[in-house]
Amino acid sequence: MKGLIARFNKDSHLQRIKASYLDDKVKLTEYENELFEKLRFIYSHRLGTAYTKQKTIEKVMEEYDISQATAYRYYNQAMYIFGEIDSVDIRAEKNILAELYLDLHYQLKKRKKFAEAQKALDSYRELFDFSQAENEADPDKIKANEYLLFIPKEITALMKERSSKGLVDMNWTAKEVGFEDISNGEDQEQ
């Protein structure tokens, strides 16, 4: 079981690159700047030129004279830094298909081609999971929980004493604390 927990005393190159991308105050080493340029190259080719993943990998291998394994590693790092493109594309394509199927369904329905309209609607339904399992409540999440609280004897005696006289003020030990109101310049302008 030894060695399952890793302790990091220093940020990795990738973490520093991501931090520099989000915050200009973080300065990168020469190696990290080179890596950042490669990652930016990959992302811009994937996004800007609408290359496929495979075409982008081939272009990176050719441009930087690196192995396929290194190119795939850089590709995954670029998606980590700048954001995943492939999963967004799948959701976008699914939504576009859904709109097209619905539009086709309505057009066919207007033309009184009900059999074809039903097929378009069935194709639309296949894009989504309309199962009951998704809509059912999870009983474990909404079940009532019982918590066993251990209250010191002194507090229990004090609560019994106070409750014998009527209502119990649960804030009997609360103290007023001084504070200073700090407001931004935005609040003062209004």
pLDDT of residue 1: 45
Contact 108, 117 (CB under 8 A): yes
Transcribe 40-73 into DSSP letters: HHHHHHHHHS---HHHHHHHHHHHHT--HHHHHH
Tally of CB atoms within 10 A around 121: 17
Instruction: Give the Cα separation of 47 and 82 in Å (integer).
Output: 11
Cα first-last separation, the chain: 60
Chunked in runs of 10, what are the mean pLDDT values of the chain (190 residues)? 54 81 82 90 82 88 93 90 74 79 90 90 81 64 75 82 78 71 56
Q: How high is the pLDDT of residue 70? A: 93
174: left (phi over 0), alpha (psi -120 to 50) or beta: beta
pLDDT at 71: 93
pLDDT at residue 87, as a whole number:
67
Rounded to an integer, what distance in angstroms lies between the CA atom of residue 165 and that of residue 36? 71
SS (H, E, C) 115-181: HHHHHHHHHHHHHCCCCHHHHCCCHHHHCCCCCCCCCCHHHHHHHHHHHCCCCCCCCCCCCCCCCCC
What pLDDT does residue 189 have? Answer: 45
